[in-house]
Structure 1
Amino acid sequence: MYKAVFLFLCISLMSEAQNKRFVYEYNFAQDSTHIEIKTKELLNLDIGKEGSKFYASEILEQDSLVRIKEKPMGKYPYQGIKFLDVVIKKDPSSEMNFYTNCLIYYNVNLNKKLEWKIFPEKEKILGYSAQKAITTLYKRKWTVWFTTDIPIQDGPYLFQGLPGLIIKAEDEKKSISFNLIGIKSLNHFDINVVPYFFRFKTVQINENEFKKVIKNYFDKPSRQLSDAGNDNQVFYLEGKEVSSSEFYRAMEQNNKNALKKTNNLLRFDIIR
């Protein structure tokens, strides 16, 4: 029954020139030494004439609540969402914008043209005829399956450039995967409205600068906040107002503790 619905959606997709949302299940092990322990999250790939947006499904609900009424600092509305990055791909170029939060909100300009090796191997995935391809992204090897049944050269995360939609992607250690689970039509698509980050002023940087930002974020986050001129900002820890120095110390310790357990980043090259 599920496959029949999927096939119907595929036919509808090809017959209607509409904006589409492809929903992926994101499975990931936060600790590379325990890849059997995984967390799941739903992610959206919204596609329109201007390009695509990739982000966590839960962000949409929280964005709606934030637009209705701003929440105070002690009650962070996006708490619990693991994938808080947003990827914007603009057709027809390989230009991408990667939005991320490292205490400061960044808009990273990427120009990623992935090198693909396509294999003749095929299999059925959710009723689609899918073909195998491999690539390396940030020192991590990936196997993906794409389908020409949906002739869209896009996919989850930074993946794109194959002759059909990427419906499955998994790293060689089987610690991270993206799997297509649903498709729906969208009434409206605006590539200029960035989920989650629409609320903030972002700092635009290139990829080399971003690598330095990430390393500094884990090593010395207080330096970034000071550089950003946030000294007058009010900070909260566990719902209690604290001084900036207390907040910085707590963040630095939290980052050091987190990196010991959360060491399986998608950007594998940054911590290796």
Structure 2
Amino acid sequence: MKLLRYGKVGAEKPGLLDADGKIRDLSGVIADVNGSTLSPASLRKLAKIDPATLPLARGRPRLGACVARPLNFVCIGLNYADHAAETGAPIPKEPIVFLKALSAYHGPNDDVKMPRGSKKMDWEVELGVVIGTTARYVPEADAMKHVAGYCVINDVSEREFQAERGGTWDKGKGCDTFGPTGPWMVTKDEVKDPQNLRMWLDVDGKRMQDGSTKTMIFNVQQIVSYVSHFITLQAGDVIATGTPPGVGLGKKPKPVFLKVGQTMHLGIEGLGEQMQTVVAA
């Protein structure tokens, strides 16, 4: 099942994508795609609905972030061995956890704003994990019980802000629009192996990232368990699990960064695609 949210900013309706790729309106069934929608019982109930009985959305509506604004937008840094190598960073011994500001949470195809003073804006295609039930001090063996599904995330980053402006990552990760999420959440029953998904990102039609979740250092099960020992994960929370190689910072012989007017196009096998244009803030 592919759950989504569509409509104008701030007025999105819940929906699902049917087998023909058409959006079906779920607003007569649920209020939103949020924490209360994502419990196992709720998802089982939604899965029993025949999409043909739901109204079709009109035209080609804008897609919002696939899950309503989470309480926690968690990210994992340097979680791909080949990405760590390209940036010259050592392999982490434990997951690197940081939070992305909720003002970064954004529709999958909406414009991404280049912050004022930005010189080193970068891209990162990432597998997103959507939490379905509260996770607190969860052992690894039980971690997947708390996962509702998966989505695509672009962990947009400003490298100078991140690494050269005081030593914390948050300033380079939490700028407005820096977290496009969607186009939809695919429930975990439809993702056979989250550790074997091809992922890619193009800038202006040129392939920059072409990787796989196979090269994750810490897998989804380990990440959910680990994070739950430091942050209580709530239903509807989203975790961005790291990026494969090919980011602008790692390009040789010198880094390449985004410019206003450029377009990012990215996707993950079975989870859909995003496209954003860079605009000035």
- TM-score, with structure 1 as normaliser: 0.25
- TM-score, with structure 2 as normaliser: 0.24
Is the strand fraction higher in 1 or 2? 1
Which structure would you say has the larger RCO, counting Cα contacts within 8 Å and 6 or more residues apart? 2
Is the helix fraction higher in 1 or 2? 1
Give the greater-gyration-radius structure (CA).
1
